[in-house]
Chain A
Amino acid sequence: MRVLVVEDDASLNRQIVAALTDAGYVVDKAFDGEEGQFLGETEPYDCVILDLGLPKTDGVSVLSAWRREGKVMPVLILTARDRWSEKVQAFDAGADDYVTKPFHVEELLARVRALVRRAAGHATSEIVCGRVTLDTRAGRVLVDDMPVKLTSHEYRLLAYMIHHKGRIVSRAELTEHLYDQDFDRDSNTIEVFVGRLRKKLGVDVIKTMRGLGYVVEEGA
């Protein structure tokens, strides 16, 4: 899962990025509206954390611009202004949820998780694919109700595919969503990780669609 954090306060930005990285997200960061808007326009994100009070271009304008261009990724608003008038403005511009400053990072993580899940069309925090269960809240994977130990890379890969189960996910899409913008996209790491995942799970949930990518079957 790839997340963009747009926050101009360097310390807060660092804290959020650290917490998200710890939780297994791939995180890009921006410190002003212009940079954030550019990243949101060019990179595919599964969620964006957007501060409203940004230098250069304010958050609502950035958000409006994204929505005008047809970007539909879930956007979580950070706002110091807890008046409803400001929140309503953000929601009208296309925000999906908000967190009011000051906040605990844990709360932010819970909201991001819920947003990503909802965007993929899952109502609960646990997504079940046959014998495999993805617990998004705890950040773990269970096979036949037994937890499986995965590295954060492996977890991210599986989580992305399970979130989008029933749909073919190309290798390029996985690369875009699992690595930050500086990653070398030509490598074959995805195949290596998929191989390891299959071995660790012991259940054949990930199917290879030759020339297209991978798919996690709905009821596999």
Chain B
Amino acid sequence: MNSRIIIVNVIRWFLLLFVQIFLLKNMGFYDLSTPFIYVLFLLLLPFGIPNILLYLLAFGTGLTLDAFYDTMGVHATACVVLAFVRISFISISLNRDAIDDPEPSLSYMGFQWFSLYAFLCVISHHLVLFFLETFRLTEMGYTLMRCGLSCIFTLLIILLVEFIFYRRTPR
């Protein structure tokens, strides 16, 4: 059981990063909307993961992305923020002791919870990402627009992927 989770997550990690780096990196609408689907890996990590491991994974994933995007540290920082939002949201919205679902995916948690969870995580990630990339407040409007449009794009793809791999499980 435990090894199965690890294998699934490793495969997911390689798959998502492969798609992100070799497909989505070349995509973008007028430099306004760029999807970052790889955050789905961090969203779908199991509930029981220790915080330190979550942060390390987030940081490592971000660094890997940075290596390919030539933006050392930007994605890593954004992913760390995402990890923090994830921990906070889960601890606020769910009773820690009553969690018996293995991972916070659409199949287990339902559309309403998952979409809010994904939205919060993705928007915080994108905000940090774009503002760190621009690194100035004078182009605030443009940055916010890019951030919002990319967020919508990413969320759409995440929901799409989740619906594709949707498994009806007894809740």
- Does A associate with B in a complex? no
* A residues at B contact (CB < 8 Å): none
* B residues at A contact (CB < 8 Å): none
